[in-house]
């Protein structure tokens, strides 16, 4: 088995790993050896084709359809150079103070986090998209909300040179989205950090890792790994785990840390979501232009949901529309006239919802929909239907309604139709992309996995820097908060470099 | 081939029922659809492929208890009624099983670029510029 040695190894290259890599990269000038190990491939610019299945297979874990143990929800997360920042829509929100207060992590305050988040907002060109670049799918959402006196807000987004391909979730073909794949990782590499793709970490042991490098499959996208395929033993004085809320807890569990960290894997949340669609009497610009420019969070506390504009691709849309047969096909045939809204439930950490591993050490996500989540999805669906009709839609599709299609003449009965419907897990198409928790921050190993700097309790050389640190749901799009937390972890490592390295 | 030949007919009958437009597909269209489905299944663990084969067998033979005929021998209306029964079944595992085959049928049909064009989906990396 090949043996290698580094001072710092970072596992994962998404919002957490990319940030830590950049922030620690100046140490390379002092001779510190740093490697980022990324399980997914690095694609060449010309390989971002925007073709739905091809890109989903190349950029997402399990093609974007990682199933929960109950098989009632799919989880979408990136597995590529840049992690999920390569496939999100670039929405960039600051962590809400009310949530940080509720998390109640000693030493973690908005005063500390906000300047860090703002640093990355500046670095990633976060701004409001200009009015002329907002498509009708988004404008109709704003119109509907305003007619109903809802407090609709615009997403700040991290775009530079956006041409409006509408393909954000399949990896921007124009390299306009400023994820870690475009900003932090290239900077880290220029400073001397090595990024090794197709490299999966099997286990962590005392200041070392066992990894497996995969060969590039025939006809697959992406560059081959910089390392020879096969298993490898890597020594590291500091290890920073940034594999995300599914893979980070799973890696620590299969490394045997579950016994000393009883909270490991607990507290998984994910903003379970479904897509609402509505048909307008005329074609609207929907698949051209940035897909996710506005949101509505005024009901996050009172009704437990957030609404976001969205626009998906044919297969994803077909999967999201409930039912089958002629009625389903009628909806699909209306594609150029469709408006879409994503309903996200604000879930809370629940004792059942957690990450474990199977007999092969692979991650298993256990998730059940609590009554609060079901109520949140139902309320969000009803509000969405009202927004559609206020914006002029002729009919709306409500996956959990009975019936699922609501004509505009029944707009006044939306609440009743939503209430009459029954949420049957496995029937309603639910998916999630805001995966959080499993390595919660806190004060000690009895209530958490790490301290507020992501340092694993009792293991000074092991850090976590990703969304698995969240003690509970963030209730907003998480990437800026992840970057701010990763910045804290990098700061702690730099400050202790003299003892750790 | 991840779906063996005898079950391929069951899967195609499912696709017809889930997306009636599939009746108009040509031989090469079906080849394209099957390739997409096979490609997706190949990337899945062997256990999931085994479960799919079991599911297809159940879908083929369970209607015998209800209608006295296998799924592929049923009329289109009865096929749809049987799938609705599975979709709304009181047992979660059965609902999830149906959701899985439904997803696969939709993937095969709408994953084809031709299906996108038919419904008016015409993405272009040039975005707004391509609209003229």
Shortest Cα–Cα distance, A99 to chain B (Å): 34
Residue A240 in any domain: the answer is yes
Q: Do A147 and A208 sit in the same domain of this protein?
A: no
Is the pLDDT confidence value at B46 over 90? no
If pLDDT is split at 50, 70 and 90, which confidence band does A1 have? confident
Backbone angles phi, psi at A369, to 5 degrees: -85, 115
Residue B85 in any domain: the answer is yes
Q: Kindly list the residues from chain A whose CB atom is less than 8 angstroms away from the CB atom of residue B103.
A: 65, 319
Residue A490 in any domain: the answer is yes
pLDDT digits (tens, 9 = 90+) for A253-279: 999 999 999 999 999 999 999 999 999
Q: Do A451 and A311 sit in the same domain of this protein?
A: no
Residue B128 in any domain: the answer is no
CB A230 within 8 A of CB A212: yes
CB A339 within 8 A of CB A311: no
Q: Do A495 and A383 sit in the same domain of this protein?
A: no
Q: Do A115 and A175 sit in the same domain of this protein?
A: yes
Please give the tally of structural domains in chain B. Answer: 1
Residue A56 in any domain: the answer is yes
Q: Do A398 and A295 sit in the same domain of this protein?
A: yes
Question: CB distance B96–A333 less than 8 Å?
Answer: no
Best residue of A318, A367, A402 to probe chain B, by most B CBs closer than 10 Å: A318
Closest C-alpha to A56, from A265, A221, A227: A221
Q: Do A91 and A213 sit in the same domain of this protein?
A: yes
Is the pLDDT confidence value at A313 over 90? yes
Residue B126 in any domain: the answer is no
Residue A13 in any domain: the answer is yes
Residue A431 in any domain: the answer is no
Q: What are the angstrom distances between the C-alpha of A63 and each of A67, B41, B45?
A: 11, 11, 13
**Domain span at residue B45?**
5-120
Q: Do A308 and A457 sit in the same domain of this protein?
A: no
Task: Using CB atoms, pick whichever of A162, A335, A426 lies closest to residue B96.
Answer: A426
CATH number at residue A218: 3.50.50.60
Q: Do A222 and A318 sit in the same domain of this protein?
A: no
CATH number at residue A297: 3.30.410
Residue B57 in any domain: the answer is yes
Of A380, A399, A424, the one marking the end of a domain is: A424
| 3-state secondary structure labels for all residues of A410-435 | HHHHHHHHHHHCCCCECCECCEECCC
For the segment A8-34, the average pLDDT, to the nearest whole number, is: 98
Q: Do A81 and A102 sit in the same domain of this protein?
A: yes
What percentage of chain A reaches a pLDDT higher than 90? 97
Contacts of B74 (CB under 8 A, 6+ apart): B63, B67, B82
Task: Using CB atoms, pick whichever of B95, B96, B120 lies closest to residue A335.
Answer: B120
Of A399, A424, A449, the one marking the end of a domain is: A424
Q: Do A94 and A137 sit in the same domain of this protein?
A: no
Residue A358 in any domain: the answer is no
Task: Using CB atoms, pick whichever of B92, B128, B131 lies closest to residue A426.
Answer: B92
Is the pLDDT confidence value at B81 over 70? yes
Q: What are the angstrom distances between the C-alpha of A227 and each of A199, A213, A296, A323?
A: 8, 7, 46, 47
Distance CA A388, CA A392 (A): 7
Q: Kindly list the residues from chain A whose CB atom is less than 8 angstroms away from the CB atom of residue B115.
A: 314
Best residue of B120, B126, B130, B132 to probe chain A, by most A CBs closer than 10 Å: B120
A71: nearest CA partner in chain B:
B96
Closest C-alpha to A469, from A439, A501, A448: A439
Q: Do A22 and A105 sit in the same domain of this protein?
A: yes
CB B62 within 8 A of CB B51: no
Average pLDDT, rounded, for chain A: 97
Q: How far apart are the first and last CA of chain A?
A: 25
Is the pLDDT confidence value at A2 over 80? yes
For the segment A33-61, the average pLDDT, to the nearest whole number, is: 97
Q: Do A333 and A383 sit in the same domain of this protein?
A: yes
Residue A42 in any domain: the answer is yes
Is the pLDDT confidence value at B101 over 70? yes
pLDDT digits (tens, 9 = 90+) for B11-30: 999 999 999 999 999 999 99
**Domain span at residue A381?**
131-156+273-346+370-424
Q: What is the pTM of this model?
A: 0.96
Q: How is residue A475 annotated by DSSP?
A: S
Q: Kindly list the residues from chain A whose CB atom is less than 8 angstroms away from the CB atom of residue B87.
A: 323-324, 427
Please give the tally of structural domains in chain A. Answer: 2
If pLDDT is split at 50, 70 and 90, which confidence band does B1 have? low
Is the pLDDT confidence value at A432 over 90? yes
Task: Using CB atoms, pick whichever of A72, A166, A335 lies closest to residue B96.
Answer: A72
Residue A14 in any domain: the answer is yes
Is the pLDDT confidence value at A489 over 90? yes
Residue B97 in any domain: the answer is yes
Q: Could you tell me which residue, A252 or A401, shows the higher pLDDT?
A: A252
Residue B5: what pLDDT? 86
Per DSSP, the residues of B12-81 read HHHHHHH-GGGGG--HHHHHHHHHHHHHHHHTS-HHHHHHHHHHHHHHHHHHHHHHSS-GGGS-HHHHHH
């Amino acid at each position: 088995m090949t043996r290698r040695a580094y001072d710092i190894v970072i596992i994962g290259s998404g919002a957490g790993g990319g940030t830590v890599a950049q922030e620690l990269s100046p140490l390379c000038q002092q001779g510190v050896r740093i490697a980022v190990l990324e399980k997914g491939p690095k694609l060449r610019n010309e390989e971002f084709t925007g073709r739905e299945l091809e890109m989903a297979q190349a950029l997402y874990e399990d093609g974007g359809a990682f199933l929960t143990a109950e098989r009632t929800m799919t989880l979408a997360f990136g597995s590529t150079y840049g992690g999920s920042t390569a496939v999100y829509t670039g929405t960039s929100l600051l962590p809400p103070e009310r949530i940080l207060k509720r998390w109640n992590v000693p030493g973690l305050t908005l005063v500390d986090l906000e300047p860090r988040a703002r640093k990355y907002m500046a670095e990633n060109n976060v701004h409001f998209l200009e009015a002329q670049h907002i498509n009708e799918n988004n404008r109709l959402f704003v119109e509907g909300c305003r007619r109903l006196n809802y407090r609709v807000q615009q997403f700040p987004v991290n775009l530079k040179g956006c041409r409006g391909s509408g393909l954000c979730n399949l990896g921007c073909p124009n390299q306009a989205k400023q994820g870690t794949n475009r900003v932090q990782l290239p900077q880290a590499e220029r400073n001397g950090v090595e990024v090794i793709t197709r490299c999966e970490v099997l286990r962590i042991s005392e200041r070392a890792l066992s990894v497996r490098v995969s060969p590039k499959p025939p006809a697959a996208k992406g560059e081959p790994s910089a390392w020879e395929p096969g298993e490898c033993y890597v020594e590291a004085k500091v290890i920073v785990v940034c594999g995300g809320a599914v893979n980070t807890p799973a890696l620590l569990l299969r490394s045997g840390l579950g016994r000393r960290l009883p909270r490991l894997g607990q507290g998984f949340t994910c903003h379970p979501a479904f897509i609402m669609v509505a048909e307008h009497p005329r074609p609207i610009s929907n698949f051209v232009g940035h897909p996710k420019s506005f949101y509505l969070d005024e009901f996050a506390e009172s009704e437990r949901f957030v609404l976001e504009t969205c626009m998906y691709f044919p297969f994803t849309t077909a999967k999201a529309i409930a039912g089958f047969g002629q009625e389903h096909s009628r909806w699909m045939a209306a594609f150029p006239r469709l408006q879409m809204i994503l309903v996200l439930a604000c879930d809370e950490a629940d004792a059942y919802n957690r990450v474990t591993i199977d007999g092969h050490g692979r991650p298993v996500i256990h998730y059940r929909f609590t009554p609060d989540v079901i109520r949140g999805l139902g309320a969000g669906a009803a509000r969405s239907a009202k927004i559609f009709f206020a914006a002029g839609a002729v009919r709306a599709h409500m996956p959990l309604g009975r019936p699922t299609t609501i004509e505009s003449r029944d707009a006044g009965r939306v609440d009743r139709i939503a209430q009459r419907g029954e949420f049957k897990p496995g029937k309603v198409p639910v998916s999630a992309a805001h995966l959080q928790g499993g390595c919660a921050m806190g004060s000690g190993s009895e209530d958490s996995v790490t301290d507020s700097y992501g340092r694993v309790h009792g293991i000074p050389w092991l850090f976590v820097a990703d969304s698995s640190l969240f003690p509970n749901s963030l209730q907003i799009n998480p990437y800026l908060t992840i970057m701010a937390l990763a910045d804290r972890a990098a700061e702690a490592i730099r400050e202790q470099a003299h003892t750790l390295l | 081939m991840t779906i063996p030949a005898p079950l391929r007919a069951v899967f195609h009958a499912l696709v017809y029922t889930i997306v009636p437009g599939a009746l108009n597909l040509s031989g090469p269209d079906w080849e394209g659809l099957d390739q997409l489905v096979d490609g997706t299944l190949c990337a899945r663990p062997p256990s999931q492929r085994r479960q799919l084969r079991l599911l297809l067998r159940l879908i083929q033979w369970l209607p015998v208890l209800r209608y006295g005929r296998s799924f592929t021998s049923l009329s289109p209306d009865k096929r749809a009624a049987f799938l609705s029964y599975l979709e709304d079944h009181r047992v979660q595992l059965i609902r999830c099983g149906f959701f899985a085959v439904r997803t696969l049928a939709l993937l095969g049909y709408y994953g084809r670029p031709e299906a996108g064009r038919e419904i008016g989906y015409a993405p272009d990396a040039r975005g707004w510029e391509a609209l003229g």
